[in-house]
Chain A
Amino acid sequence: MSVSVTIESIEKRFDAFAALRGVSLDIQPAELVALLGPSGSGKTTLLRLIAGLEQADQGRVLFGETDMRDLSLRDRRIGFVFQHYALFRTMTVGENVAFGLKSRPRGQRPDDAEIRKRVGDLLELVQLPGLDKRYPSQLSGGQRQRVALARALAIEPRVLLLDEPFGALDARVRKDLRAWLRDLHRRTGHTTVFVTHDQEEALELADRVAILNDGRIEQVGSADDVYDHPATPFVCEFLGEVNKLPVKVVGSQAFFGDRPVLGGLSQNQGGQAALYVRPQHLRIVDDLPLALPGVVEHLRRNGPLRRAEVAVQGLAKRLDVDLASQVAPAIGEHIRLRITHGSLFAAA
């Protein structure tokens, strides 16, 4: 049922503005891929291109082996869920969901009883049984979202495209729907691409995450891949909070000033570099080699975590340190920090 999608060096301009510059991406059958990126990075444009709602200036999109341009919108069989749902306001929920089936050419159209049954099943699937007589204006945001999904699923799509599916919902509902979508994908197994600018959502939901910036894909990989081994400083900063240390690499060690702070480096690039370290990868240690001395200046709470701000000599910005289960230091205390994991990028 599901099909692979191959995006080959797509270029898209709006007048003089280049929205996509050479985007390539291979999506496996039944894979769940997130397009993640800041506002204006081209996520929606790429999704619309895959759907065929926008024409590429260069490059092509393949469904399996077929060039998309050879298929009409109907034959592409794409389930597209729009950012603002685009439910048909003059139709009931049931009619919305049935629309795709009723739009089929006469020969392939199921009869009315069959359509009614399918609509019932789909509303069951999205956990809205019995709401088929309501109008979209009588639904909550989360319910509309699920109706839009049911409507898209009704045409038995080969590919499901979701544009910020949870964008307009509050944090609690987002979390619920996230788990629900993950589960739905597991059961239905559609090749799915969804757009989001919420890194947490992308990392939690997707098999693979593609990070877009300024019309280019910066990195594609599993959540662990992109989070722990970001390919570019942009990816590293976009995916979560990070401390930056200017270092000098000599041999297999990185030096902050004349103090070695990270060892065992495999890539012997040498010279000036920027070391990116997440707050949870800084640990307070007793006197050990490869440790960075500092003074605790602030303690604050960041959700479930306590966090220390540590001033380090020679560094303008204080380092953020997560105190997961460590004993909290006192303000003004002199401590030593050890970097357990970091990403090294050659200085720009």
Chain B
Amino acid sequence: MSDAALPQFRTDTAQKRDTRRVRGEGVVVQAVLITISLAFLALFLLLPLVSVFVEAGARGWTAYMAAVTEPDAVAAIHLTLLVAGIAVPFNVVVGIAAAWAIAKFAFRGKNLLISLIDLPFSVSPVISGLVFVLLFGAQGYFGAWLKAHDVQIIFALPGLVLATVFVTFPFVARELIPHMQSLGSADEEAALTLGASGWRTFLTITLPNVKWSLFYGVLLCNARAMGEFGAVAVVSGKIRGLTNTMPLHVEILYNEYMSAAAFAVASLLAGLALVTLALKTLLEWHYSDSIAASRRH
């Protein structure tokens, strides 16, 4: 036993010595790199965020509350929650299905599907919005038919949801695909040979195996769904109290020189970003072991 312990002890100290030497050589470089990164973070990320909250509170608490409880603002908050409430669950379901298909099956056109999933990331959001106007707008391909059947998509909730779904689709799928691929299908096959139905296998094996990736994906998807501006701006028509989401409302207020009100609503969005970040960090910190375990092996 002591024989076995000895070489292990040696490697441990050898490793320590190595890291120390590597670090020792790089003290100056290290200091420079850390300073640069911290300065960048402070200047480009932290400062804007802080200024949002400072500007939001510039006119005092009552002005802040008035800005976020004013009817148009409340309508915008409602609409944002509604759009995200539809788009995120939809993308979760379709994202899981797409990730499942890609990770567990071999089929023709798989690579095409993988590229397609990334499409919304590589296309400018404005174009994503314009596509829907082209399809469903009054002059669009289906415009006449929709008008005849009295269905309104553009400048209404369906358009907002469609644009948001399009833009935020990749988040869940992209988080899941590499994880599911690395897990393979052995667990599912084991469950099936043990007599589990396909549905039970999915619920008790597949989903729990990827729950952390799924949670990350949902967090990011939700943050983007609530914050999306470009695509939504094109299909919204910006009808106050009707088709304005929070980001659009912020822009309108800002353009009308009501910057305190604009920053007040913006602070809610910034708050959402902070909560998302905090949740993600908390999860990583609190469950790092089980996350690592579910990714390992």
Count contacts on B: residues with CB < 8 A to the other chain: 21
A135 touches B190 (CB 8 A): no
**B294 and A90 form a contact (CB under 8 A):** yes
Q: A90-B294, A103-B200, A137-B293 are in contact. Are A151 and B186 (CB under 8 A)?
A: no
Pick the contact of A86: B189, B200, B208 (CB < 8 A): B189
Q: Tell me if A185 counts as interface (CB < 8 A to partner B).
A: no
Give the CA-CA distance A82 to B185 in the complex, in Å. 11
Q: Which residues of B contact A136 (CB under 8 A)?
A: 297
* Chain B residue at smallest Cβ distance from A148: B190
**Distance A307 CA – B191 CA, assembled complex (angstroms):** 50
A220 interface contact, C-beta 8 A: no
Inter-chain contacts of B60 with A (CB < 8 A): none
* CB pair B191 A99 closer than 8 Å: yes
How far, in whole Å, are A88 and B186 apart by their CA atoms in the complex?
10
Interface of B is mostly: helix
Cβ-defined partner of B191 (8 Å) among A78, A84, A88: A88
B209 part of interface (Cβ distance < 8 Å): yes
**A73 to B186, Cβ gap below 8 A?**
no
Taking CB atoms, residues of chain A closer than 8 Å to B192 are 53, 73
Residue B193 is within 8 A (CB to CB) of chain A in the complex: yes
Q: Which applies to chain A's interface (DSSP): helix, strand, loop or mixed?
A: mixed
The CA-CA distance from A135 to B292 in the complex, in Å, is 13
Cβ contact within 8 Å between B194 and A89: no
Say if the beta carbon of B18 comes within 8 Å of chain A. Answer: no
- A284 contacts the other chain (CB 8 A): no
CB of A80 within 8 Å of the partner chain:
yes
Q: Which of A135-160 contact B (CB under 8 A)?
A: 135-137, 151-152, 154-155
Question: Chain A residues with Cβ under 8 A from B196's Cβ?
Answer: 74, 99-100, 103
Q: Confirm or deny: A51 has a beta carbon within 8 angstroms of a beta carbon on chain B.
A: yes
User: B209 touching A90 by the CB < 8 A rule?
Assistant: yes
Of the residues A89, A90, A155, contact of B195 by C-beta under 8 Å: A155
B205 at the interface (CB under 8 A from A): yes
Is A317 positioned at the interface, with any CB of B under 8 Å from its CB? no
Contact with B along A150-178 (1 / 0, CB 8 A): 01101100000000000000000000000
Name the one of B193, B205, B296, B297 contacting A78, with C-beta atoms under 8 angstroms: B193
A82–B189 CA distance with the chains assembled, in angstroms: 9
B191 touching A103, Cβ below 8 Å: yes
Interfacial chain B residues near A152, Cβ < 8 Å: 193-194
Q: Is B194's CB under 8 angstroms from A86's CB? A: no
Is residue B197 within 8 Å, beta carbon to beta carbon, of the partner chain? yes
In the bound complex, CA of A86 to CA of B197 (Å):
17
Contact with B along A76-88 (1 / 0, CB 8 A): 1111101010101
User: Which has the most chain A C-beta neighbours within 10 Å: B194, B205, B296?
Assistant: B194
For B204, what are the chain A residues with a Cβ–Cβ distance below 8 Å? Answer: 88, 99
A91 to B194, CA, bound (A): 15
Using a CB–CB cutoff of 8 Å, the interface residues on chain A facing chain B are: 51, 53, 73-74, 76-80, 82, 84, 86, 88-91, 99-100, 103-104, 135-137, 151-152, 154-155
Query: Which 3 interchain pairs have the tightest Cβ spacing?
Result: A100-B194, A86-B186, A74-B195
**Which residues of B line the A interface, CB within 8 A?**
186-187, 189-197, 200, 204-205, 208-209, 211, 293-294, 296-297
Interface pairs (29), CB distance under 8 Å: A53-B192, A73-B193, A77-B195, A78-B193, A80-B190, A84-B297, A86-B187, A86-B190, A88-B191, A89-B187, A89-B294, A90-B208, A90-B209, A90-B211, A90-B294, A91-B208, A99-B194, A99-B196, A99-B204, A100-B194, A100-B196, A103-B196, A103-B197, A104-B195, A135-B293, A137-B293, A137-B296, A137-B297, A154-B194
